[in-house]
Structure 1
Amino acid sequence: MRPAEYSDDDLEQHARRRRVDDDGQRSAFEHDVDRLLYSTQWRALAGKSQVVASGELGAYHTRLTHSMKVAQLGRRMAERLERRYGGPNPALVEAACMAHDIGHPPFGHAGETALRATMDELRFSGGGLDSFEGNAQTLRVLTFLAAHKYPGHRGLHLTRACLDASVKYPWERAPRDQDPARHRKWGVYVADREAFAWIRDGREDTSVPVEEQLMDWADDVTYACHDVEDFYRTGLIPLAALFPAEGATGPETERETARFLAYVEAKRRAEGEEFDRGAALELLADIGKRLAVHAPYGGTHEDAVAVNRRTADLIAYFTRGIELEVGGPSAIRYGARLLVPGPLRAACDLLKELVWCYVIDRPALATQQHGKRRIVGELLRWTYESPQLLPYERAEELALHGDPLRAAADHVASLTEGQAVALHRKLSGTGLGSVSDNVWP
């Protein structure tokens, strides 16, 4: 059954000023999936970090493999809910999940931080507020920077519903003193205000459709489960100490548990949040029922099987209890709310903190991130100060919008990590390479 709130306008392929005929072989939302899959921006995610650098030795997730798993999980949850509630549309959820990280820059969080800090410094000096945000960049890629096959049209020509479901933060950046939360996270640049207004189609509130809610939960679960798996395999997260098999606790477990919870408590209190140590211990015990291990990862076939089994159990744990609260049969999109039990959300948040405690905030990665931020910040500054360094495509866009800082940010954000390192060496003079080298996207 198709939810009535998917209007004919949602289910057609459309651009801002033209309608595209469909050959009847795929639904409109299946077209969205395919257009994302074949975009150069999707392919570039293979060269961008999920947590550690994409070129790091080891079988770590990249932004591409992370996004693929988010899309797979989002679609499976949507299929389950569609059978029960008549929606949401699985292909639409899959497309939103595929799109959710497509605007992220090289070097993950470090690259995003560097772009924002450098843009803030340059933009604020001129009195501006707009800056860089990975989620807002996603909207810009989908509606302006990417190219499809239709002359005279910018972006991937996605449906309005797909674009709407891809926007996690449906607002522009707010001044820090007025709204600190919307100053830190936002999803729309001033330059993309018109496109965003078209997507929202008269809706002025900040609610998000249920497809975005599913995408967000699929993202959280995938991050929590697969990143913990990565760093258990490489010995960075001591699961054997934190979650010993058969409850075989001892001094090492007590020491690691105390260390981890002290880290989480300090972080939460620094962010102005309360922390209940007793509740956290109960959550860890519940997680341990699915994550308990006998020993550190040894690389045997048996170890690999056990890791995969635990990851599957965790994903089932986080997704089987979800439901929809639906206002009526014609209200699936904006009239539905994804219900995830509170303890599951809290457990997922706690599991993600393992990656921050044992990986992201460890000194070895912190030194790498310092270098990553320098590369990205200097590339942005140099390109802004010398627009002739822009590749042809970004130069054409600069001629359209006239904002050299935005054009420079669009360029740097589009680079893979290998391209960013190579370009930085060229521009800094530490490695000139060859005049025939092609470091453009």
Structure 2
Amino acid sequence: MRPADYTDEDLEQHSLRRRVADDGQRSGFEHDVDRILYSTQWRALAGKSQVVASSELGAYHTRLTHSMKVAQLGRRMAERLERRYGGPNPALVEAACMAHDIGHPPFGHAGETALRATMDELHAGHGVLDSFEGNAQTLHILTFLAAHKYPGHRGLHLSRACLDAATKYPWERAPRDVDPARHAKWGVYAVDREAFRWVRAGRDDDAVPVEEQLMDWADDVTYACHDVEDFYRAGLIPLAALFPTPGAAGGDTERETQRFLDYVAAKRHRAGVGFDRDEAVHILADTAKALSIAKPFGGRHEDDVALNARTAKLIDHFTRDIDLQVGGAAAIRFGARLVVPAERRTACELLKELVWCYVIDRPALATQQHGKRRIVSQLLRWTHESPHLLPTDRAEELDLHGDPLRAAADHVASLTEGQAVALHRRLSGVGLGSVSDGDWL
């Protein structure tokens, strides 16, 4: 057994530049968990979409409940691996999982793409590459925007290891013609370059620690299992046709399966990605062993019991056979790779595509997303054009970094969906609100 070997450098706090001491009650990484839990940015996730708007009626997951389940699953997987390998640290994995979506703006993917497209447009002709990215916003919040109890220092003062584990794409944005993938996804803003260098402690590669790998898998599994569960309950995803109980297959199953696979094949073709249809059929059949469904959800107690049992079985299906590949003399953090059977990763991706096929790309949600993007884009433009609209904390930050567009984006990204709608109504003149409203309005 090789221990994870967390050093004093890993436990050092950002900004305070000192080791997180074990005070006899909490370890350094447990401090990280608690600081994220008590932050205002964590609480705001309750008002942000996971898939549908947080105000939708029904028991849909919000970004907060999604993050809570990612953290629970990540910790449990880490506990199992720690018993076998001496690491990774479960509290560190839990903290990274809690933080992973803290940078998401209102309205989820629609809000993120609207902020990015509008920032790109406003930057056009100025030679500025930086823009908005939810993962980069996470690091920005944790090291700059959030507040803890220490005067004179910004951010939550999380350990170096926690910030590293929460950074999913450890690089700045690249020009599109140089690296299209890194133009589309990145995890560090230019304004946070110094903080990121501190986090990486001299590392100049793109390697991610094993804690980030566990966080990423916990995120995928939670998305695949619980979001599919939400929309099966709502009657939108026809699981009974796609994953029938043994012996129940028939014409409806064949037609629905082919329709879904046609959707995935067309989507992958547009993205220039290959798609093995025969493999997908095999994977769906294998997944049906854990997810077999006899009938549409009817709302009865027995339906809830059956669905909960199948969700638990599906999560076990995705997490039971994980392992660590540990090699060389390096400690587990950067010397180990999370191994998930390839067919499980493929199955997880297919389940996530169910949400896109039957929910996100539905015309009803598409029209909503058009409105969401419009709200976010206009809020950004109006705030950028009139910096006096910024609330006090964002105005203070503007004085520190001098970037009006970044300050405006930070303001809009921090809003819950209810706040964004109310602020848009006020600024557009549709609903003026009250002079006693908070300064975020």
Which bracket does the TM-score occupy, shorter chain normalised? over 0.9
1:307-386 map, 5 Å: 307-327=307-327, 331-386=331-386
Work out the CA distance in 2 between the residues paired with 1:315 and 1:292.
14
Q: 1:98: how far off?
A: 0.2
2:351 aligned counterpart, secondary structure: helix
Instruction: Report how many aligned residue pairs link the two structures.
Output: 441
Provide Cα deviations, 1:303-339, integer angstroms capped at 9, x if missing partner: 0001100100000000011000112575100000000
Question: CA RMSD, aligned part only?
Answer: 1.4
Contact 2:245 2:292 in 1 (8 A): yes
2:46 aligned counterpart, secondary structure: helix
Contact 1:28 1:159 in 2 (8 A): yes
The 1:2–1:85 alpha-carbon spacing in structure 2 relative to 1, beyond 3 Å, is: closer
Q: Which runs of 5+ in 2 are unaligned?
A: none
Work out the CA distance in 1 between the residues paired with 2:221 and 2:21.
37
Q: Please state if 1:40 is matched with 2:40.
A: yes
- Of 318-327 and 15-24, more deviation after overlay is shown by 15-24
Provide Cα deviations, 1:149-179, integer angstroms capped at 9, x if missing partner: 0001100000000000000000000000110
Q: Please state if 1:167 is matched with 2:167.
A: yes
Work out the CA distance in 2 between the residues paired with 1:298 and 1:4.
47
Contact 1:14 1:159 in 2 (8 A): yes
Work out the CA distance in 2 between the residues paired with 1:64 and 1:183.
28
The 1:2–1:91 alpha-carbon spacing in structure 2 relative to 1, beyond 3 Å, is: farther
Q: What is the identity, as a one-letter code, of the residue corresponding to 1:184? A: A
Q: Please state if 1:70 is matched with 2:70.
A: yes
Q: 1:235 aligns to what?
A: 235
- Of 23-32 and 395-404, more deviation after overlay is shown by 23-32
Q: 1:395 aligns to what?
A: 395
Q: 1:218 aligns to what?
A: 218
Q: What is the identity, as a one-letter code, of the residue corresponding to 1:163? A: L
TM-score of the pair, normalised by structure 1 = 0.98
Work out the CA distance in 1 between the residues paired with 2:375 and 2:212.
33
Q: 2:423 aligns to what?
A: 423
Contact 1:142 1:155 in 2 (8 A): yes
2:196 aligned counterpart, secondary structure: helix
Q: Please state if 1:277 is matched with 2:277.
A: yes
Q: 1:118 aligns to what?
A: 118
Q: 1:401: how far off?
A: 0.3
Q: 1:187: how far off?
A: 0.3
Q: 1:50 aligns to what?
A: 50
Q: What is the identity, as a one-letter code, of the residue corresponding to 1:80? A: R
Provide Cα deviations, 1:76-127, integer angstroms capped at 9, x if missing partner: 0000000000000000000000000000000000000000000000012322
TM-score of the pair, normalised by structure 2 = 0.98
Contact 2:9 2:19 in 1 (8 A): no
Work out the CA distance in 2 between the residues paired with 1:169 and 1:95.
17
Q: Which runs of 5+ in 1 are unaligned?
A: none
The 1:342–1:19 alpha-carbon spacing in structure 2 relative to 1, beyond 3 Å, is: closer
1:101 aligned counterpart, secondary structure: coil
Q: 1:127 aligns to what?
A: 127
Q: What is the identity, as a one-letter code, of the residue corresponding to 1:143? A: T
Q: 1:438: how far off?
A: 1.9
Q: What is the identity, as a one-letter code, of the residue corresponding to 1:359? A: V
Q: 1:15: how far off?
A: 3.0
Q: 1:440: how far off?
A: 2.5
Provide Cα deviations, 1:381-400, integer angstroms capped at 9, x if missing partner: 00000000000000000000
